[in-house]
Chains A and B, each alone.
Chain A
Amino acid sequence: MKAEHRQGWLFVSPWVIGFALLTAGPMLYSLYLSFTSASLLSPPQWLGLENYRRLAADPLFYRSLGNTAAYAAMGVPAGLLLSLGLALLLNAPVRGLGFFRTLFFLPSVTNTVALSLLWLWLLNPEFGLLNAGLRACGLAGPLWLQSEAWAKPALVLMSLWTAGGQAVIFLAALQGVPRELTEAAAIDGAGPVRRFFAITLPMISPALLFNLIMGLVGALQVFTQAFVMTGGVQPGSEGGPNQATLFIVLYIYKKAFQEFDMGYASALAWALFVLITGCSALAFRLARERVHYESEAA
């Protein structure tokens, strides 16, 4: 082997070894486990498709699937709209925007457990700021996390508060839109709305696709907020009123690490993997013709 080749392989070998030991190997092992009765205590017994049959008939699996889908369906579009709105404001031709950018961005880079405790207190039906604000407007606030109907919207609201990260990505894309384009359109008589849909939106579509996919992947894996905010004092009580916040990852965690039902939990994890890969691939496919990449146009 040429020295250049050998040295190249040596430099990348940490990742190659890590990929084999920490990613590829465990993935294959996890696939195997999903066909067994593995638990922490007993050696795995081959079950064939039993875990997947069980999954197909498990009402809690469907409940967690529905909860996760509902959370993503509310949170992802709302997050995209809010962060795009924030980015458009932060791209306006006015002064003093650095301060506001910091303000919007800050919540997205902090500690989810600490933020969960803050929101647990904000959402407190009796003493929380949110319902105090609603009362001041003459409205009776809901029970939020203690209500089956409002628990997921409450978590969506909290996720919107961390939309600043996506806004920064939109902002970077907006700053890359050549001004000559919008100016030329303005001279041709296009109004601000027309300019936004005909020029700005197509130009920032790669950022939109990126935020859509990352938002989707993040929402499908929501865990910490639900674990910290909707559990009682007893371990195992997580999941909210009538399992309204039992999301897939929370369900996998409970099966694997509270009930040590590792084989079944592996089957659940593979179901999630297929779901996430499928959703991302679908988003890519739907977006492929609509996304505008600068290099293609050149």
Chain B
Amino acid sequence: MKPREFLSPITPATPAGPLVRIGLTYAALVALGALFSLPVVWMLSSSLHELAAVFAQPYRWLPVPLHWENYARAVTILPVPRFLLNTVLITAPVMAATVLSSALVAYGFARFRFPGRDALFALCLATMMLPGQVTMIPLYLVFAKLGWVDTYLPLIVPSLFGSPFYIFLLRQFFLTIPPDSEEAARIDGASRLRIWWSVVLPQARPAVATVLIFTFIGTWNDFFGPLLYLNSPEKATLTLGLNLMKTQVLGSGVVEWNVLMAASLLVLAPNVILFFIAQRHFIRGITMGAGK
């Protein structure tokens, strides 16, 4: 985002005008920024308090001394390392399968002419709007027949078939790549699959990164899929495990909000770190969706 010129011609010519406007803008930004960040600050503060301090009135914002043991308790109250491993075991194959299958399909839509292509692409875009509730019951029954319930297969296998939004995103990116280098490779006798892998994908790195990041966020934080398909607590993902922890902690006498907040922060942390590393990818992905 380019900083705009400080004195824009839109603002009135009186010298006080722009200063007042800038002051009001900052005042609104700071007020809204405080409203948006207070919940997180409070979460952090609660997660480091001892239990009695969490219920103290008036609330003390600064947790002194810092009770890091809440975090230790958050990872031992339920087998959180196990949940983390489970989440990785689902997320990693889903990321790889999603990006590869979506990029294959996207390349097909971007670079080949065949009858029915445009209608098929329109159908693909239309399925983006489809609410998943219509298909979840039959899919569950089919996966149950296959004996896949309480395994990771129902969460992983669908990613082998490409995802409409990422197909769209990658196709748009492929269309911006000049086809010269692909044609040169074809003259050299390379197969289309080989060209896709070694000529096109390396040039599409930014779009591939966006897809990987969005898939990570979507899979890491998915609640509904694991809720439906994973019954055994030891197979739970972090997100599902957090809900199990809620049930356990809320069911005990005094609710350990400090431990629940610590656990929630641990689940949020990878998202926040990734967000700070790759903010422009988030923004690209989100605004691409709206641009169609």
Contacts and interface: CB of A to CB of B under 8 A. Distances in A.
Nearest to A235: B247
Contacts of B22: 92-94
B25 A92 contact: yes
Contacts of A117: 242, 246, 260-261, 263-264
Contact of A269 (B8, B57, B129, B137): B137
Instruction: Name B's interface SS.
Output: helix
Interface stretch (A11-19, A73-81, A144-152): A11-19
Interface string A170-190: 001101000000110011000
Nearest to B7: A93
A198 interface: no
Given A14-B160, A26-B142, A168-B283, A132 B105 contact: no
Interface in B1-53: 1, 3-6, 8-11, 21-22, 25-26, 28-29, 32-33, 36-40, 42-43, 46
B177 interface: no
Instruction: Name A's interface SS.
Output: helix
Interface string A110-138: 11111101111110100101001000000
Q: What bracket does the count of chain A residues touching chain B fall in?
A: 35 or more
A186 to B, nearest CB: 5
A217 to B, nearest CB: 7
28 contacts: A5-B113, A5-B115, A7-B192, A8-B113, A14-B104, A14-B160, A22-B135, A26-B138, A26-B142, A29-B142, A30-B135, A33-B141, A95-B3, A100-B32, A102-B275, A105-B279, A109-B275, A110-B268, A110-B271, A114-B268, A121-B260, A129-B59, A206-B290, A221-B131, A223-B224, A233-B251, A257-B140, A265-B137
Given A29-B142, A89-B29, A93-B22, 19 more contacts: A7-B112, A8-B112, A11-B104, A14-B101, A23-B130, A33-B138, A100-B29, A105-B283, A109-B275, A113-B239, A168-B286, A172-B291, A173-B290, A211-B290, A232-B250, A233-B247, A233-B251, A265-B137, A270-B134
For the complex of A and B, list the 9 residue pairs with the smallest distance between their C-beta atoms, beginning with the closest.
A18-B161, A11-B108, A8-B112, A93-B4, A8-B114, A12-B108, A114-B264, A26-B135, A29-B138
